[in-house]
């Protein structure tokens, strides 16, 4: 920790000196110094919050290891694009989003303390970041609690996360902030997320910003996602987030975009599973044409079986002719024939 305190003290000294110069000077140079001093003050604030969070985590007992090596492998895999910590974080944020309709206890009239400050929000963010880097159920639960705390802070939490995203020097921190801005649905972050997606050279950060943008679900975010999706030269995972966001907002362009990404990923598999899961998560008739095509296509059997299950769950009568062909085809795999026959009977076929 001493190594972190040294740069913190140096930055603080520079910030104090430049701030004093800004108070007395009125020249363009002094105004520039004022801006630089403000940036340095923000860095000091974030460094302090990071230091406090690490000291807090370091004082906690170690969490027990995961139960199985399979659990570790599952946590580490998100289409081969994320490291273990971001993968856990993404799954945790999805879980939080599914339960976002239930406010935390402190938001339901429980006694509250002093109004939250920027420093408090930054402290919670860095504690959250450290929690996602660990393993075990206790760390997972702690991370969820910290996100709930940030959500309860409202605008202050949004400002803190945008500060990290705009001025942070650590790529992991900026990616986490981008995803959280989406999960907490901070509409003021739209210009910042858009700028990162369009201009930043860090591909993983652009993907995180696109994932955050997807969850904003504001009227202003929809044209941005449409522009991203229609740029076929952009990264596939960036476009996938845009397509998913548009589909969730009820835009047909998003559903078509997810189907296109599923098809274009046939050669290398990158994003294929994510696109399929996104279409399945819509859980309505918009995905039916895609699922009908998949169940009869020359694709991985797992996708075909899941498409048949989706069509059955949606009670799709238009699937009956294809199901009848599949259940009677001698060239089909037994698992496909059996699934098609069960679905055919479930849908009222004779």
pLDDT tens, position by position, 116-158: 899 999 999 999 999 888 778 888 889 999 999 999 999 999 9
pLDDT at 31: 54
Asked whether residue 41 carries a pLDDT value surpassing 60, the answer given is: no
Q: Would you say residue 4 has pLDDT above 60? A: no
pLDDT of residue 10 exceeding 50, the answer is no
Q: What's the sign of the alpha-carbon dihedral 179, 181, 185, 191? A: negative
pLDDT in tens, 46-76: 555 555 555 555 555 444 433 333 433 433 4
Residue 104 and residue 149 in contact, taking contact as beta carbons nearer than 8 Å: yes
**What's the pLDDT at 30?**
55
Mean pLDDT value across residues 177-181: 96
**Closest to 160 measured CA to CA, from 177, 145, 147, 143:** 177
Say which range, 29-33, 329-333, 343-347, has the weakest mean pLDDT.
29-33
Model pTM? 0.73
User: Taking residues 275-304, what's their average pLDDT?
Assistant: 96
Record the tokens describing residue 115, joined without a space: 């109004």
* First vs last C-alpha separation in the chain: 72
Q: What is the pLDDT, as a whole number, of residue 95?
A: 54
Q: What is the pLDDT of residue 23?
A: 45
Q: What is the pLDDT of residues 252-271, one digit of tens each?
A: 999 999 999 999 999 999 99
Task: Pinpoint the alpha helices (H) of the chain.
Answer: 2-24, 28-58, 69-76, 84-98, 118-132, 137-153, 155-167, 171-183, 190-199, 203-216, 221-230, 236-248, 252-264, 272-282, 288-296, 301-313, 320-328, 334-346
d(CA 147, CA 297): 42
Please report the pLDDT score of residue 200 as a whole number: 94
**Greatest pairwise CA separation for the chain in angstroms:** 89
List the single range of 80-89, 195-204, 205-214, 272-281 with lowest mean pLDDT.
80-89
Q: Of 39, 54, 42, nearest to 5 (Cα)?
A: 54
- pLDDT of 175 > 60? The answer is yes
Determine the Cα–Cα distance for residues 178 and 157; give it in Å rounded to an integer.
12
DSSP state, 117? -
Q: Which has more pLDDT, 188 or 72?
A: 188
- Band the pLDDT of 342: cuts 50, 70, 90: very high
């Amino acid at each position: 920790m001493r190594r972190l305190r040294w740069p913190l003290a140096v930055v603080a000294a520079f910030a104090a000196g430049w701030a004093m110069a800004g108070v007395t000077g009125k020249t363009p140079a002094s105004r520039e110094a004022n801006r630089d001093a403000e940036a340095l003050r923000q860095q000091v604030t974030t460094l302090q919050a990071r230091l406090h969070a690490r000291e807090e985590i370091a004082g906690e007992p170690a969490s027990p290891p995961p139960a199985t090596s399979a659990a570790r492998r599952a946590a580490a895999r998100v289409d081969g694009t994320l490291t273990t910590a971001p993968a856990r974080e993404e799954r945790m944020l999805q879980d939080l989003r599914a339960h976002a309709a239930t406010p935390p206890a402190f938001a339901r009239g429980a006694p509250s303390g002093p109004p939250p400050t920027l420093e408090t929000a930054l402290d919670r963010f860095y504690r959250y970041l450290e929690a996602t880097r660990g393993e075990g159920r206790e760390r997972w639960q702690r991370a969820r609690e910290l996100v709930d705390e940030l959500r309860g802070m409202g605008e202050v939490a949004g400002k803190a996360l945008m500060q990290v995203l705009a001025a942070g020097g650590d790529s992991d921190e900026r990616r986490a902030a981008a995803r959280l801005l989406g999960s907490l649905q901070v509409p003021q972050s739209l210009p910042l997320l858009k700028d990162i997606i369009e201009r930043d050279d860090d591909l993983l950060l652009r993907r995180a910003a696109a994932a955050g943008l997807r969850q904003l679900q504001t009227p202003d975010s929809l044209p941005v996602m449409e522009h991203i999706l229609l740029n076929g030269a952009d990264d596939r995972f960036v476009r996938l987030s845009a397509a998913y966001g548009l589909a969730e907002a009820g835009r047909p362009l998003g559903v078509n975009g997810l189907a296109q990404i599923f098809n274009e990923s046939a050669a290398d598999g990158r994003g294929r599973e994510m696109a399929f899961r996104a279409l399945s998560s819509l859980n309505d008739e918009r995905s039916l044409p895609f699922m009908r095509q998949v169940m009869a296509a020359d694709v991985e059997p797992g996708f075909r079986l899941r498409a048949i299950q989706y069509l059955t769950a949606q009670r799709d009568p238009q699937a009956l002719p294809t199901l009848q062909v599949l259940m009677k085809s001698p060239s089909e795999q037994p698992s496909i024939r059996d699934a098609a026959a069960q679905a055919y009977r479930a849908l009222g076929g004779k």
